[in-house]
């Protein structure tokens, strides 16, 4: 008789999800599934709103990565009014974005993934958390908090508040950066960079000490997608979308406005979250990954010195071919964290960042506009269609967590089959399955938007035995 194991909720991630593991009579895992069981619906209730409200509406999707949605929405609005924003405005937007990357990447590595890596997969769950991390290494924990605080301060000095900023508008931004605020951020940035370097060293040391696990934990071949600049280097704010195949060869390099020519979305009845794929290869052959690991796999270089040195090491891991192990996401995330801090310093030192040339206006309203940005978790698309008055008639959001949905589902199954013994289940085994999800740092509230046929299953469970007596499914 098949045994069903449910992990609910999946902990130390943003949003609500569960994992189901099916074990046969021999104690072996037959199947495992990652279920996103929440629904947000931002695509639908955006309809009818004036397009210029979208940079304020869409950040409410999430309190972790609101800047990503804020800026992607603003870039889509730029396209609708056919605006080329002034260079100072671009610098200021990018600075805000670097602040978000720093706070998000630092928080995830040190506070969400860190308890597994630093305290151990099998540690008592009572201490395998941020509180336990503070007790085990208070100095490291304080540095992690200061890193997140710095990133939030960057956002606040530009957008007026740390969460849901009001800053980017169609055609630019709504406020300048003062000399005082610039100098305060510059004063702190040289402290933050060494903190991140400590994290990089910690990640590399952990990988070296756990080499066997790293090489077998959620390792599989996919395509990879991310933004690159004109030189093929890592790009988080702007650039072309680059898609490579499993072998690392270039499949596509395209402008954001062309994404529908290349990306399709598959639906399964056991999740609210769709599965994007590369159209030319079809489903499921065309699956790919996004986020830190993907971005480093598609990039040819990083244009800041310290991150570039780490990037060279990253590229050597698999002889220049794509790095496939899911646990390498943590290392890649810290390399990007370092890049974001270096970029923040470069932007702050650029004299144009103090300019008041921050906005252009036009009378144009084009029928649609697409915005793209590399959110901390991966490539984010915002696409709005508008009528002649500028009211949204349709919205399409493809978020990083959606792009990675197949990889998380595949990874959960592979890790469960490798580590879960149905005849002797331990909490540490199940934590390893959860840990696969944490590699991707999903933001689930960001990810489910479309209104349509949604799966709903009601299980009737025996109080005495715990056995599922009957399942009722909405068709």
* Contact (Cβ atoms closer than 8 angstroms) between residue 145 and residue 109: no
Residue 474 has pLDDT above 60, yes or no: no
- What is the model's pLDDT at position 439? 96
* Contact (Cβ atoms closer than 8 angstroms) between residue 268 and residue 303: no
Say how far apart CA 97 and CA 119 lie, in whole Å.
31
Q: What is the CATH number of the domain that holds 110?
A: 1.10.645.10
For 470, half-sphere exposure in the C-beta direction (CA atoms, 13 angstrom radius) is 1
Lowest mean pLDDT among 180-194, 297-311, 401-415, 452-466: 452-466
- What is the model's pLDDT at position 364? 95
- What is the model's pLDDT at position 246? 97
- What is the model's pLDDT at position 18? 85
- What is the model's pLDDT at position 253? 98
Q: Environment class of residue 471 by beta-carbon count within 10 Å: exposed (0-12), middle (13-18) or buried (19+)?
A: exposed
Q: Predicted confidence band at 268 (pLDDT cuts at 50, 70, 90)?
A: confident
- Please check whether residue 293 lies inside any domain of the structure: yes
The encoded tokens of residue 316 equal 């050597």
Q: Predicted confidence band at 448 (pLDDT cuts at 50, 70, 90)?
A: low
Say how far apart CA 247 and CA 134 lie, in whole Å.
42
* Number of residues that make up the chain: 475
Query: Are 315 and 441 contained in the same domain?
Result: no
Looking at 382, 406, 430, which one is the last position of a domain? 406
SS3 label, residue 337: helix
- What is the model's pLDDT at position 463? 65
Query: Are 70 and 27 contained in the same domain?
Result: no
Per-chain mean pLDDT for the chain: 92
Query: Are 94 and 203 contained in the same domain?
Result: yes
Looking at 353, 376, 406, which one is the last position of a domain? 406
Among 195-199, 461-465, 470-474, the range with the most confident prediction by mean pLDDT is: 195-199
Query: Are 179 and 295 contained in the same domain?
Result: yes
Per-residue pLDDT tens for 282-318?
A: 999 999 999 999 999 999 999 999 999 999 999 999 9
Query: Are 109 and 214 contained in the same domain?
Result: yes
What's the whole-model pTM score? Answer: 0.92
- What is the model's pLDDT at position 449? 53
Structurally, the chain folds into a number of domains equal to: 2
pLDDT higher for 437 or 449? Answer: 437
Sign, CA dihedral 441-444-450-455, equals positive
Looking at 406, 429, 447, which one is the last position of a domain? 406
Query: Are 47 and 33 contained in the same domain?
Result: no
At 18, which helix (H) or strand (E)?
strand 17-23
- Please check whether residue 412 lies inside any domain of the structure: no
Query: Are 287 and 209 contained in the same domain?
Result: yes
Say how far apart CA 417 and CA 356 lie, in whole Å.
58
- Please check whether residue 268 lies inside any domain of the structure: yes
- What is the model's pLDDT at position 443? 82
Say how far apart CA 252 and CA 237 lie, in whole Å.
19
- What is the model's pLDDT at position 224? 98
Query: Are 260 and 163 contained in the same domain?
Result: yes
Say how far apart CA 324 and CA 245 lie, in whole Å.
12
Say how far apart CA 27 and CA 20 lie, in whole Å.
15
- Please check whether residue 411 lies inside any domain of the structure: no
Residue 458 has pLDDT above 60, yes or no: no
Comparing C-alpha atoms, which of 291, 262, 260, 287 is closest to residue 276?
287
Per-residue pLDDT tens for 110-142?
A: 989 999 999 999 999 899 988 998 999 999 999
- Please check whether residue 138 lies inside any domain of the structure: yes
Residue 456 has pLDDT above 80, yes or no: no
Query: Are 116 and 190 contained in the same domain?
Result: yes
- What is the model's pLDDT at position 353? 98
| Structure letter (DSSP) for residue 304 | S
- Please check whether residue 413 lies inside any domain of the structure: no
- Please check whether residue 342 lies inside any domain of the structure: yes
Q: Which structural domain, as residue segments, surrounds residue 460?
A: 3-37+418-474
Query: Are 12 and 50 contained in the same domain?
Result: no
Query: Are 88 and 102 contained in the same domain?
Result: yes
Lowest mean pLDDT among 123-132, 241-250, 382-391: 123-132
- What is the model's pLDDT at position 452? 42
pLDDT higher for 360 or 471? Answer: 360
- What is the model's pLDDT at position 43? 85
In percent, the amount of the chain with pLDDT more than 90 equals 77
Query: Are 67 and 171 contained in the same domain?
Result: yes
- Please check whether residue 95 lies inside any domain of the structure: yes
Average pLDDT over residues 248-276: 92
pLDDT higher for 61 or 41? Answer: 61
């Amino acid at each position: 008789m098949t045994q069903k194991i449910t992990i609910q909720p999946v902990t130390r991630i943003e949003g609500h999800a569960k994992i189901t593991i099916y074990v046969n009579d021999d104690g072996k895992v037959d199947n495992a599934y990652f279920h996103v069981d929440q629904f947000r619906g931002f695509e639908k209730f955006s309809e009818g709103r004036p397009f210029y409200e979208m940079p304020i509406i869409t950040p409410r999707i999430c309190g972790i990565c609101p800047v990503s949605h804020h800026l992607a929405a603003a870039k889509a609005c730029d396209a609708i009014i056919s605006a080329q924003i002034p260079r100072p405005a671009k610098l200021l937007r990018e600075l805000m974005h670097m602040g978000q990357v720093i706070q998000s990447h630092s928080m995830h590595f040190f506070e969400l993934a860190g308890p597994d890596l630093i305290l151990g997969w099998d540690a008592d769950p009572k201490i395998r958390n941020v509180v336990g991390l503070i007790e085990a290494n208070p100095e490291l924990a304080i540095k992690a908090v200061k890193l997140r605080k710095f990133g939030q301060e960057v956002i606040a000095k530009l957008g007026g508040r740390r969460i849901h900023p009001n800053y980017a508008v169609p055609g630019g931004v709504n406020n300048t950066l003062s000399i005082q605020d610039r100098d305060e951020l510059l004063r702190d940035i040289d402290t933050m960079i060494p903190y991140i370097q400590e994290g990089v060293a910690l990640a590399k040391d952990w990988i070296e000490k756990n080499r066997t696990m790293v090489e077998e934990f959620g390792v599989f071949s996919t395509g990879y997608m991310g933004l690159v600049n004109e030189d093929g280097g890592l790009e988080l704010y702007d650039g072309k979308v680059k898609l490579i195949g499993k072998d690392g060869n270039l499949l596509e390099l395209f402008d954001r406005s062309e994404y529908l020519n290349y990306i399709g979305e598959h639906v399964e009845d056991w999740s609210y979250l769709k599965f994007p794929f590369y159209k030319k290869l079809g489903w499921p052959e065309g699956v790919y990954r996004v986020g830190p690991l993907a971005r480093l796999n598609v990039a040819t270089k990083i244009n800041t010195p310290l991150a570039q040195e780490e990037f060279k090491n990253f590229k050597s891991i698999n002889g220049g071919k794509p790095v496939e192990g899911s646990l390498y996401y943590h290392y890649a995330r810290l390399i990007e964290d370092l890049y974001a801090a270096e970029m923040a310093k470069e932007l702050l030192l650029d004299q144009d960042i103090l300019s008041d040339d921050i906005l252009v206006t036009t009378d144009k309203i084009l029928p649609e506009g697409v915005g793209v940005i590399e959110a901390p978790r991966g490539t984010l698309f915002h696409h709005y269609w508008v009528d002649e008055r500028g009211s949204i008639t349709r919205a399409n959001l493809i978020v990083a967590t959606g792009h990675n949905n197949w990889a998380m589902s595949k990874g959960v199954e592979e890790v469960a089959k490798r580590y879960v013994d149905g005849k002797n289940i331990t909490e540490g085994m199940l934590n390893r399955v959860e840990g696969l999800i944490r590699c991707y740092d999903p933001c689930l509230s960001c990810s489910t938007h479309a209104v349509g046929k949604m799966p709903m299953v009601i299980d009737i469970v025996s109080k005495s035995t715990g056995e599922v007596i009957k399942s009722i499914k909405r068709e």
